[in-house]
Amino acid sequence: MPARIDPEQRRQQVIEAAFRLVIADGIEGVSLRKVADESGLNIGSVRHYFDGHHDLLTAAAEEAGDRMGRRLAEHPVKRLRGLRGDAALDALQALVETVMPVDDARRAETIIVVELVIASRTRPVFRAMSERMGTDLSAVMREALDALDLPDPDLAAAQLVAVVGGLTMDAVTPHGGLSADRVREILRAHLRLLLTTANESR
């Protein structure tokens, strides 16, 4: 009797194949045929789980976002309350780094997200997801900075999201060519300045 196929496992197999292709070739290099070949499945099996190219890429981006979200959940914002000095700096950096390309897994995820965000400029099908990702990131950063009692968490969160976006772009493209260590160093300098300025204004 043939082994029962787990639909969710098979779907995940297809998403992982799409991940690898987006990282290697960008969004333009991904097709259902290539994903079928990469996953070791026939194209009919791929189409069973995904309606088309956009559906598959959206699923890959959602998976990247879900992985980031699971790491964020390991750093609940409530743990930041009452922290000061290096303890606050360390905890905030650990939280922010959950969504930054500071190791191989996070680099792969951020490449997927960056590819989709860039594509959303000219492809309306990706716009809603891109906007939601940006809104969710801003909300998490604002909540974290509010927990640290910064006087203007809205402005500080906007600054931090801009820094995260710039560092991410410069880490996963030749534009900046930043190493993970350099990303961490620059991020820490910004967070230290942010918290120091906040403390001085109290």
Please report the pLDDT score of residue 29 as a whole number: 82
Overall CATH class of domain 1-50: mainly alpha
- Domain positions in the chain are 1-50, 64-201
The verdict on domain 64-201 having CATH code 1.10.357.10 is yes
Please report the pLDDT score of residue 173 as a whole number: 93
**Residue ranges in the chain modelled with pLDDT below 50:** 1-2
The full DSSP string for the chain is -PPPP-HHHHHHHHHHHHHHHHHHH-GGG--HHHHHHHHTS-HHHHHHH-SSHHHHHHHHHHHHHHHHHHHHHTS-GGGGTT--HHHHHHHHHHHHGGGS-SSHHHHHHHHHHHHHHHHTTT-GGGHHHHHHHHHHHHHHHHHHHHHTT-S-HHHHHHHHHHHHHHHHHHHHSTTT---HHHHHHHHHHHHHHHHHHHHHH-
Please report the pLDDT score of residue 52 as a whole number: 85
pLDDT tens-digit series, residues 90-131: 999 999 999 999 999 999 999 999 998 999 999 888 899 899
